[in-house]
Homo-oligomer: A and B are copies of this chain.
Amino acid sequence: MTSPSLKAESTDLAAVQAQVDLVLHDFLDTKRRGAEDRSLPLDVAATLNDFLTAGGKRLRPLLCVLGWHAAGGHGDGTAVVRTAAALEMFHAFCLIHDDLMDNSATRRGQPTVHRLVANRYGHDHLGASAAILIGDMALAWSDELLHSAGHPPHRLAGLRRVIDVMRQEVIYGQYLDLMTPLGPLTDHEAALQVIRYKTAKYTCERPLHCGATLADSEADLYTELSRYALPLGEAFQLRDDLLGVYGHPEATGKPVLDDLREGKHTVVLALAAQRADPAQRKLLDTLLGTPELDHDGAARVRAVLDATGARATVEDMIATRYAQALTALDAVPCPPPATAALRHIAARAVERTS
């Protein structure tokens, strides 16, 4: 297996991304050959490889590597890149199960894993079952990547503590996401709690902490990184929620109707429901969460989000959180190239169209 080495230029985000992708590809290629040798099914490794190469922002691996730099990490970063790759493999687990739970048909412009297998065999339940297992394997393999990264035992123990907390947080976040539609649509505090667990902690805070652990970071730095990561993560997810309603499928790779059809209780919908007049509220209650929702229906929901000012308020919330993240970043005592890269990532996460 090729061992990419990570030098000073590793705040070059494109280079980090290429190294992470190489680790993932090599790992899955080894898994595919191992399966071949033991007459085991090849499509588990192959499907994961296709899934991972179809796209993705690699935000979590990048933040992991930058957390390492922020804490003064330098020199050979092979183990760091492998840890970053493990986070991406874990993310594949999350997305594959998430797509199944959300009944999503496409991801990254490709059929989702459960649809892919269901289409191949003409059997929906088989597709769902295969997606459960391929997701489970991604989780198991993310651990294997982590444990074979070459970390000294004391550092691995610290890293495992962060990873174990991260997993619990994201699974609780997903569970909250599943259950909030059973509560009132107006409850924007509930929608914010989902965002905090599902995204702010999982996508931003914990990857930075993972990286910082690998440079044996001081305790204070974790807190300082959290002050940057948590508002950034909230802004990231609020942007995601807006893209789920206003985005262009050719840019996001996801159908624009899914979130509305699924009836997710997002912050923007909660705000709209709070401010809606009776006619607007009736329209939201009638259209949201119905699998038959069409483009015309979506346009009418969007009109309510615009007219109630809910969309504008969420744009304000994104801007506020983005500013908070940048202010917090100025207080983090980390090397200037790491600061610059964290600033760049923040801009990309908040201003994106995909």
Distance between A116 CB and nearest chain B CB, rounded to angstroms: 14
Given A125-B103, A132-B100, A153-B157, do A164 and B178 touch, yes or no (CB 8 Å)?
Answer: no
Which chain B residue has the least Cβ–Cβ distance from A163?
Answer: B143
How many residues of A sit at the interface, in one of the four size bands? 35 or more
Q: A133 contacts which of B41, B129, B139, B171 (Cβ < 8 Å)?
A: B171
B residues in contact with A341, CB < 8 Å: none
Determine if A295 is an interface residue (Cβ-Cβ < 8 Å): no
Cα distance, A58 to B175, chains bound together (Å)? 28
Do A193 and B39 have beta carbons less than 8 Å apart?
Answer: yes
* Main secondary structure on A side of the interface with B: helix
Q: A164 contacts which of B128, B136, B147, B156 (Cβ < 8 Å)?
A: B147
B residues in contact with A161, CB < 8 Å: 147
Which chain B residue has the least Cβ–Cβ distance from A139?
Answer: B139
Q: Mark A223-257, 1 if CB is under 8 A from B, else 0.
A: 00000000000000000000000000000000000
Cα distance, A160 to B139, chains bound together (Å)? 14
B residues in contact with A125, CB < 8 Å: 103
Do B172 and A41 have beta carbons less than 8 Å apart?
Answer: yes
Do B144 and A168 have beta carbons less than 8 Å apart?
Answer: yes
Cα distance, A126 to B177, chains bound together (Å)? 11
Determine if A101 is an interface residue (Cβ-Cβ < 8 Å): yes
Cα distance, A128 to B178, chains bound together (Å)? 11
Which chain B residue has the least Cβ–Cβ distance from A31?
Answer: B168
Q: A126 contacts which of B39, B97, B178 (Cβ < 8 Å)?
A: B178
B residues in contact with A176, CB < 8 Å: 40-41
Cα distance, A136 to B100, chains bound together (Å)? 14
B residues in contact with A130, CB < 8 Å: 175, 178
Given A144-B168, A147-B160, do A101 and B137 touch, yes or no (CB 8 Å)?
Answer: no
Do B101 and A132 have beta carbons less than 8 Å apart?
Answer: yes
Q: Mark A102-130, 1 if CB is under 8 A from B, else 0.
A: 01000000000000000001000110111
B residues in contact with A97, CB < 8 Å: 132-133, 136
Determine if A331 is an interface residue (Cβ-Cβ < 8 Å): no
Q: Tell which of A100, A139, A193 has the most Cβ of chain B within 10 Å.
A: A139
- Which of chain A's residues 13-46 have a Cβ closer than 8 Å to chain B? 35, 39-41, 44
Cα distance, A58 to B91, chains bound together (Å)? 32
Q: A182 contacts which of B101, B121, B129, B175 (Cβ < 8 Å)?
A: B121
B residues in contact with A129, CB < 8 Å: 100-101, 178
B residues in contact with A153, CB < 8 Å: 153-154, 156-157
Cα distance, A197 to B35, chains bound together (Å)? 13
Q: Mark A144-172, 1 if CB is under 8 A from B, else 0.
A: 10010000011011001100100110011
Rank and list the top 6 A-B pairs by shortest CB-CB distance, nearest first: A153-B153, A101-B129, A140-B167, A144-B164, A137-B171, A147-B160
Known: A136-B139, A141-B168, A143-B164. 14 other contacts (CB 8 A): A40-B197, A41-B172, A100-B129, A100-B132, A101-B133, A121-B182, A129-B178, A132-B132, A133-B171, A133-B178, A137-B168, A137-B172, A143-B143, A147-B160
Q: Which residues of A contact B (CB under 8 A)?
A: 35, 39-41, 44, 97, 100-101, 103, 121, 125-126, 128-130, 132-134, 136-137, 139-141, 143-144, 147, 153-154, 156-157, 160-161, 164, 167-168, 171-172, 174-176, 178-179, 182, 193, 197
